[in-house]
Structure 1
Amino acid sequence: MKLKAALPKRFSAIIALAFCLVCPQVFGQQDNSIPLDHFYVDRQGPSFFRKVLSKVTFGLSTGYGLTTFKHSLDGYGIQQNPGERPIIFPIGDAASTSGYSNWFNRVDSAVINILPTSFRASSDTADIGFRNKAFNIPLKATLHVEFLDRYRIGGGYSFEYVNLRSFVPTKYDESINLFKPDVPSFFLKKYFFMLGASVYRYYEYLLVVDANIGGYSLGKKFDKEVINKGVYFNLGVAVEREMSEYFRVFVRPSYEFKNFKTSIEGADAIKHKFNAFYVNVGVTYRIPELRRCFLKTCNIQINHAHGNREYRSRVHPIHKKQNPHYGENHPTLIKYKGRNKKKLNPY
C-alpha cells in the first residue's frame, strides 16, 4: 500500500520538472539570468571632435644659432683708401668717381677719392668679397598634426635676435679694411611650413627627421625697396624623449639655407648668402583625448569614469608616463607626499 501511494507522488514530481524545462521554450523565455547592464554602465569615451583635436601638438623651443654671411662682388671692384671705409664700384664704370659705401642692408652712394696710396682690386682678376659670422638666439613656436603614429605636417613661426660682426674681406685682407655694416644687430622673423616623420624608436626615445620651408623678414633696418628675398630651407634631425602620453622634450640640430639680393640701379645685384647652423632645445605638448576630471576632490591617478563619462586624472603630472595599474610610475603615493604627509587623513 505504501508503494502504491508513493508512485503518484513521484510521478507528479517528474511531470512538474518536465513542465519547468519545457515552459520557457513554449513562452519564448530564452534566458532567466539577471542582465549585467543593471550593474555595469557602458563608458562614454571621447567625442569625435576630441579625437581629432588630440592629433594636434604644440611646440616651443629656443637655442643657439651660428650664421655665416658671405657675398661675392662679381662685376664690381673695390677702392680702398687708408683709414677709410672700403667702397665698391661697377667694373664697367672704372673711370667714374662714384661708388657705394653700403651694399648690405641698403644702398648708400659715395664719392671715390683716388690717391697715390689707394688700393684697388677687381673681380676680373680675383674672387673678391666679404664674409662674416653672427650668432642667433631663436624663439620658435610650432603646431603640427601627427597621423599614422609616424608622419607629421604643420607650420610655425620663429623670432630671432641676430648679432652681427664686422665683415672680413675674402681676398687681400692685408690691404682692404673691414666692412662695418650700419646694423650691428637685427631681428629676423620666419614663417614656415613643416613636414616630417619619425624614423626610429628606442623605448621612450624617438628619432624624427623634418624640414621647414618658408619665408622670412629682415626687419625695419633693411630697405625693402632694394632687398629681394627668396624662400629658405631648413633640414633637421630631432631626438625626442617621451616624458608622458602628452609631453615630450627634444633636441634638434639643423642646417638652414637662405639668401637675399641687394639691387643696385644700373649695375648687377649683389647676392648675400647667410646659411646657419642651429641647435634648438624645447618641449611639445599634445592635446589629450579625455577631458580633465571635473571633481576637484578627486585624487584618482588613472583614466576613470564618473557616471557613464570617462575623464583623465586631475593629479597626474604631465611629465610622468602613466602606469595602467595606479596611474603614476612613482614609488611614493600622493597621500604620503607634500602637504599630505602632515594630514591624518589625506583623502
Structure 2
Amino acid sequence: MAQYESESDASIPLENFYIKRQGIGAFRKILSKVTFGLSTGYGNTTFKHDLKGYGILQNPDSMPKLFKPASVGAGYTDWVNKVTATGNTVQPGSFQVNSDTTKLGFKGKSFSIPIKATLHVEFDRYRIGGGYSIEYMHMGTFKPTSYGDKINSFNTDFSSFFLKKYFGMIGGSVYRYNEYLLVVDANIGGYSMGKNFDKSLIQKGVYMNVGVAVEREMSEYFRVFVRPSYEVKSYKMNVPEGGDAITHKFNAFYINVGATYRIPELRRCFLKSCHAQMNHAHGNREYRSRRHPIYKKQDPHYGENYPNLIKYKGRNKKKLSPY
C-alpha cells in the first residue's frame, strides 16, 4: 500500500481528466447576431391625387378626361399610370370644371398581399438591417373628390400589378413582458411599380413605413410576430406635352404576420443518439442539444423538453402506480 506524506500528494489533478473546451469562433459569433425574417399579411392602400392646374370634362356616358385650362380640345386619360393624349369633344349635356374654382381629384382604394423578407443584426435592444418585399396589389375604383353627382368614377386599364420594395431597417425593443417583446421600427427605401406604369414619365421618391411589432419568443432562436404599420409614399406623373406634373399619393396601412429565426452560436450535436437537452461538450468542443426544437421555449443550460415527468404523461396518468 502506497503512503503519502501529505494530502495534496495523494490528490489527482483534475486537468488529467478534463480537456479545455474550444471557444466559439469569431465567424460563428458574428453569424449568431444575424436574424432572418419572413412575413405576409394584408395591406389597404388609398390612391389619391390633386389635379391642380387642370380641368375635368365629363361627357355623358363616358370616362372623365383632363384638359389644360388654355386648351379644352386637348384631353388626357390614364393619368394614373401613363398619361394618354386624346382629343376632347364637348358634347351636349357635358360638364366642365376647372381647378381654379375648386379642388379637383380622384380617390381610390386597393388591397394588397405582401410577401416580405428581412435580415437584421441585433445589438442589445437595437436592430439594424434591410429587406425586400413584393406585393400583389388589386386596383379599386377611382371616385371624384368633388362634384360626385356630375363627374363619373373610373377604373384604370389594368386591374392589378406587382409592387416591389427594397429598404433599410432600423428599430429597437421598447418593452418586455415575459416572453413578449414590443418593437418599434422603421423601413425606409425605394420601390418599383409594375409594367403597366410608364416609368419614363414617373418621378419617384423614397417611402417610409413605421410599425409596432409584438413578438412572441417561442425559443431562444425563433420568434413569431404581428406587425401593424403605416406607410407614406408618392410619385409624380409627368404630362408628355408639358404642364404641371400630377402628384399621386398612395399611402397604405398594413398588418403583417410572420416569424424570425436567429442563427445559433453553437453547432448542433453530431451524435444522433445523444439525448442531452442542454448545451454540452463532446471532447473539447461544445454543442447545442439535438432535442432543442426551435418552436419551444427552453433554457439551454438545463433543458425544458419534458417539464412533466413521464409517469404523469399520456396513458400513465390513469395508472395508480406508473412504476
Question: Which secondary structure state, in structure 1, belongs to the residue aligned with residue 70 of structure 2?
Answer: helix
> How many positions carry a matched residue from both structures?
308
Question: Which secondary structure state, in structure 2, belongs to the residue aligned with residue 70 of structure 1?
Answer: strand
Among candidates 110, 127, 132, match of residue 86 of structure 2: 110
Identity of aligned residues (%): 68
> Is structure 2 residue 259 aligned with structure 1 residue 283?
yes
Of stretches 319-328 and 212-221 in structure 1, the one that deviates more from structure 2 is: 319-328
Among candidates 177, 192, 195, match of residue 217 of structure 1: 192
Alignment of 1:1-347 (within 5 A): 33-94=11-72, 97-147=73-123, 149-264=124-239, 265-324=241-300, 326-332=302-308
8 Å Cα contact 1:56/1:286 also seen in 2 = yes
**Partner AA of 2:256 in structure 1:** N
Name structure 1 gaps, 5 residues minimum.
Answer: 1-19, 22-29, 339-347
Name structure 2 gaps, 5 residues minimum.
Answer: 315-323
CA RMSD of aligned residues (A): 1.9
* Alpha-carbon shift at residue 38 of structure 1 (Å): 0.8
d(CA) in 2 for partners of 1:245, 1:99? 62
d(CA) in 1 for partners of 2:195, 2:185? 31
Encode CA deviations 1:192-214: one digit per residue, 9 max, x unaligned. Answer: 00000111111111111100000
* Alpha-carbon shift at residue 326 of structure 1 (Å): 4.1
8 Å Cα contact 1:131/1:169 also seen in 2 = yes
d(CA) in 1 for partners of 2:288, 2:95? 75
Query: 1 or 2, which has the higher helix percentage?
Result: 1
* Alpha-carbon shift at residue 315 of structure 1 (Å): 2.1
Task: State the partner residue of 2:317.
Answer: none
Would the alpha carbon gap of residues 321 and 136 (structure 1) be closer, same or farther in structure 2, given more than 3 Å must change? same
**Partner AA of 2:14 in structure 1:** L
8 Å Cα contact 1:323/1:329 also seen in 2 = no
d(CA) in 2 for partners of 1:176, 1:237? 40
The two structures have a TM-score, normalised by structure 1, of 0.85
d(CA) in 1 for partners of 2:185, 2:306? 34
Larger radius of gyration: 1
d(CA) in 2 for partners of 1:109, 1:125? 24
